[in-house]
Amino acid sequence: MSVNLAALKVMIVDDSNTIRRTAETILSKAGCEVVTAIDGFDSLAKIVDVVPDVIFVDIMMPRLDGYQTCALIKNNNEFKHTPVIMLSSKDGLFDKAKGRIVGADEYLTKPFSKNELFEVLERIVATQETEDSPVQG
């Protein structure tokens, strides 16, 4: 890892206990503070208290799916700049396009490797650092 992920606050929203626990274990070992949610409603209830730096959202969930969850996050003034990474077992162009339409910043196909998880986080962190740096000139 070239980017320091320590102290990064990450929320994992997935109805699969296996995916939540796997991502939580990997990210916690990297120094991230991890909060999990079992579905979109659970994430919306926790997001205000947690204020995550990055949110991973599964697309296929009961009650409130990932697209709806992402759209609600991105339509909230307080969280619209929080990066959202869509998680899906489908790697289709349609799914990626729909994710972009609702405001997703990245797309990660399940099952994902530790390296793939870190790569997407490094891109997000690098993008945020670029956007946060002062403009020279």
**pTM score above 0.75:** yes
Number of C-alpha atoms within 13 angstroms, CB side, residue 30? 23
| Amino acid occupying residue 81 | H
Q: Does domain 9-126 have CATH number 3.40.50.2300?
A: yes
| Amino acid occupying residue 99 | G
Q: What is the spatial distance between Cα 51 and Cα 84, in angstroms, rounded to a whole number? A: 13
Tens of pLDDT, residue by residue over 75-98, are 999 999 999 999 998 777 888 899
Q: What are phi and psi of 71, to 5 degrees?
A: -60, -40
Tens of pLDDT, residue by residue over 52-66, are 999 999 999 999 999
Tens of pLDDT, residue by residue over 6-42, are 889 999 999 999 999 999 999 999 999 999 999 999 9
- Cβ-contact 15, 56 below 8 angstroms: no
The structural domains of the chain, with segments of one domain joined by +, span 9-126
Query: Would you state the pLDDT for residue 29?
Result: 95
